[in-house]
Structure 1
Amino acid sequence: MNTVLKDTATCRPWLMPLMLVSSDVVAVVLTGMACVLVRYVFGGGFGLSLYFKLWPLLLGFPVSYAATRSYKILTPPPIEFKRCTLGTCFMFLFLAAITFWLRSADAYSRIILFFFCLLLVFTVPLGRRICRKYFSHMPGWKLPAVIYGNNEIARSMVRNLQEHSYLGLEPVALVYDNTAGARISYLGVPICDRNSLTKLPQQNCPAYFIVAEPNFTLNQYRNILKMGHEHFAKTVIAPDIFRQANMWADVVDINGTLGLETGQKLTAPLPQFYKRTTDILGALVGVVVLFPVFLLLALLIRLDSPGPVFYRQTRIGRNGEPFKLWKFRTMVKDADAVFRKHLDADLELKAQWDSKQKLRYDPRITHIGKQLRKASIDELPQLINVFMGDMSLVGPRPIVESEIKKYSNKFELYSKVSPGMTGLWQISGRSSTSYKRRVDLDVYYIRNWSFWFDLYILTRTPGAVFKCNGAC
């Protein structure tokens, strides 16, 4: 078992936090400099040295992020986004208090401080994402993880950790009770028996022990956790029952007995009120700001091909009620007939449609329609649906009636909320993902909804659209 844990020389538990702290400092410095210089160029009557004297305070941002546990491993992105935002807000409250106590508040521009705070909400998470993308494959970035279990949950844990290096863990062993006749490895990860746990060498490198076994009795859990606590820095329990929980679940103490408190936030009245209020305000602002763009696109569509500017299609909304979804027309006249003709003539095209309900190269799409779809601009009129209450800014995909059967028993949960203009499916590969994966993403979003999750998806949507994942 001496080969299970990574060698201490290649394990650097400080590397990932250090790189994330560096990313945060760079984001804070560049954002601050940009805000100050832009204000200075556009008539700011102040000396640049006034703001450069504040540079020592910028180092307080990583301290504030650390206080909100923003550097914790295995933190879901929406929760990390929330913690970073809270850390930014706490630091600005501190800066406001410092300038007030020093009687120098009037010397600093409120516009600069406001936009500095606002932009950091986006630049800090963006900087972290770039940092993980380019540095998560560095030797020493990931901590070793030993996974206990002989089931699909354990194997999927191995796959997830290998495919998503940014999580910061590397599976180094798969352990379960009886390895007789089993393979010696799974996806390159050695398979060991339970007795090997007691033979782990003592090393300075902290390792994670992940228990992914849903069929244990209480005594079995006690024994394996005791063994894990003796040999590992951290222990994670991941039984199958937690798949019904969500990332916002809380640990509660019931007179000495620990429990996991979870709930369905999105279907509760008060969260629905908050979400609906946000949708109305967002739709109003969007329509007013984009109205000139709407007029220009309407002209281009009419010049490109004969037919109406808008296209309305029946989709399934909340409570299973149908509604008319608004889009800019991107297809030729008599598109359905053209579509069926091409499907009958091309079996490969038909198989692609049957699998994903989308086509990468659709013969029905007009020249201007192709450009509109590439950037998802054709979906902007859905702001009308959002304002009318048929849709939400963020939510599951709006589906047609023929897709209901593909949701199976998950449709009941799907129908409890309004579909969205954007959603988790759009920032996770869009039409390049399989249909089953898209259904799972819709269900995951509904179970894990929060204001922060919506804000996280909204901030990621422009990047997903710009990359044209599966839509180009």
Structure 2
Amino acid sequence: AAIGLQWLNPEDTTSRASVWLPPVLLAWVLVNAILGLYPGVCLGLVEEIRRLTLSLSTVALITLARLQPGGEWLGHRLAFVAVAYVICMFLAPVLRSTTRKMCGKFSWWGFPTFVCGNDTAALGVDQWLQENRRLGLRPLGVIADPSHLELDAQSTRLLGDWEQAEKLAEELKVYWAVAVESNETEQELDMPSAAELYLTNVPHVYVVSKLTGIPDHWNRHQMDEGLSGFLVEQHLLLPIPQIMKRSVDLVVATVASLFLIPLFAVLSVAIKITSPGPIFYGHERIGIRNTRFKAWKFRTMVPNADKALNEYLEKHPELRAEWERDHKLRNDPRVTPLGKWMRKWSIDELPQIWNVFCGEMSIVGPRPIVEAEIEKYGEHFETFCTVPPGITGLWQVCGRNDTTYEERVQLDLYYIHHWSPWMDFYLLARTFKTVLFTKGAY
């Protein structure tokens, strides 16, 4: 199209390829990246063609928008763009497939990948991936319980068992895993949940499903004609999303600080006047990678709050169950009148912006927890530790203290497994509504 447009009217500077081709190519690359065509692993042919169609259509519209309306050559220009569009629709998937086949012959091609499963099906998938390197996965071997696999004494395909998986993933820089559902039940083989096992270390887990009756050709996560399943991802284990989230945190925290300085000054004076003791209160919480840090708040309680709580629970033993269940009391005797007002409007947590600057917290994320709450997360605790806790989050806008602790854990897990920049912006916007109506705050 670029050559044709320039040939039609060489005197028109706007038709020169050097003028309009670079921004169009850049737009094409960006659209491809947004649509997940890079790196394009685990994409079935039908899904890949669908995304290429969307990408090329977007670029064609951008190209048409750059054409000057009117003129004797407009019809010819439109024809050249239409012909180029049709040619690219044919060439793009062919060239992508050819490139993958050629690169698949080299040992360096593909992402290091684990195959995990507790029966011979895992060995079959491992062999299949070795023979189909064009898919972009480089199988390193199998993670399984050796007692359930039929392996020769000289076999080198068994990398380790389930207990070694975490260490191996870190050492070998594994970003992909293919989990093969067993023909037997997971309970019979003592096989951990693939998502829980790998999402704490591996961002992409492709689960080969044993379900039947699903139309594979329209399965957006069909890897190839011979292997279909579904893809489970945790984007916050990847460097670029981490950098993106951290950058947004710093920008939001900086802007918020500029507006909140006067409020901080007024509240600091009010706290000192109404209650003896420090202005801020730091409480140890659990952060990313199971680290410990002090989460800062405006002090909302009386001095010696822990002693006051123990004395109150001794006098009111019927409330101990509520405390042990939620680590909160609806009518907490330790909270000062000013503290109740700050908690109602969630103002007491604003100093955690400092934790955001320090990299200990994020603007949006799971609720930070204390040591005593670890057991409530059970097997999900390692997943919780893969992301920084947040000032606000899904739990904070979905009922807060009106939800059960089990619901809170599930909300945190949903956020971790489904994170996206759009989810963060949505939750941040909903936070203002939640604070305004003081839903679930006490």
Q: TM-score, normalised to structure 1's length?
A: 0.48
Establish whether residue 429 from structure 1 lines up as the match of residue 374 from structure 2. Answer: no
Aligned counterparts of 1:320 and 1:256: Cα–Cα separation in 2: 40
Identity %: 47
Q: Residue 416 of structure 1 aligns with which residue?
A: 386
Given candidates 414, 418, 422, the residue that maps to 1:452 is: 422
Deviations 1:130-162 (A, max 9, x none): xxxxxxxxxxxxxxxxxxxxxxxxxxxxxxxxx
Establish whether residue 288 from structure 1 lines up as the match of residue 258 from structure 2. Answer: yes
Deviation at 1:324, TM superposition (A): 0.8
Q: Name the CA shift for 1:295/1:219 in 2 (closer, same or farther; >3 Å).
A: closer
Given candidates 336, 344, 366, the residue that maps to 1:366 is: 336
Aligned counterparts of 2:289 and 2:326: Cα–Cα separation in 1: 24
Q: Residue 406 of structure 1 aligns with which residue?
A: 376
Please give the residue correspondences for 1:55-454 in structure 2 after superposition, counting only pairs within 5 Å: 221-222=212-213, 251-255=221-225, 258-454=228-424
Aligned counterparts of 2:265 and 2:381: Cα–Cα separation in 1: 37
Paired residues of 1:327 and 1:382 also in contact (CA < 8 A): yes
Aligned counterparts of 2:411 and 2:404: Cα–Cα separation in 1: 11
Q: Name the CA shift for 1:219/1:300 in 2 (closer, same or farther; >3 Å).
A: closer
Q: Residue 55 of structure 2 aligns with which residue?
A: none
Report 1 or 2 for greater relative contact order, CA contacts < 8 Å, sequence distance ≥ 6.
Answer: 1
Aligned counterparts of 1:279 and 1:399: Cα–Cα separation in 2: 20
Deviation at 1:416, TM superposition (A): 1.2
Q: List 4+ stretches of structure 1 deviating above 4 A.
A: none
SS at match of 1:330: coil
Paired residues of 1:252 and 1:261 also in contact (CA < 8 A): no
Aligned counterparts of 1:466 and 1:363: Cα–Cα separation in 2: 25
Give the structure with higher Rg (CA). Answer: 2
Deviations 1:375-400 (A, max 9, x none): 10000000000011010001111111
Deviation at 1:452, TM superposition (A): 0.8
Please give the residue correspondences for 1:21-36 in structure 2 after superposition, counting only pairs within 5 Å: none
Deviation at 1:262, TM superposition (A): 2.9
Aligned counterparts of 2:340 and 2:210: Cα–Cα separation in 1: 61
What letter is aligned with 2:373? E
Q: Give unpaired runs (5+ residues) of structure 1.
A: 1-89, 102-213, 227-235, 238-249
Paired residues of 1:360 and 1:470 also in contact (CA < 8 A): no
Deviation at 1:251, TM superposition (A): 3.1
Aligned counterparts of 2:427 and 2:210: Cα–Cα separation in 1: 41
Q: TM-score, normalised to structure 2's length?
A: 0.51
Deviations 1:369-428 (A, max 9, x none): 000000100000000000110100011111111111221111111111110001111111
Aligned counterparts of 2:253 and 2:379: Cα–Cα separation in 1: 32
Q: Name the CA shift for 1:258/1:348 in 2 (closer, same or farther; >3 Å).
A: same
SS at match of 2:236: coil
What letter is aligned with 1:430? R
SS at match of 1:461: helix
Aligned counterparts of 2:227 and 2:360: Cα–Cα separation in 1: 44
Given candidates 445, 449, 462, the residue that maps to 2:432 is: 462
What letter is aligned with 1:447? H
Q: Name the CA shift for 1:254/1:372 in 2 (closer, same or farther; >3 Å).
A: same
Paired residues of 1:414 and 1:442 also in contact (CA < 8 A): yes
Paired residues of 1:427 and 1:460 also in contact (CA < 8 A): yes
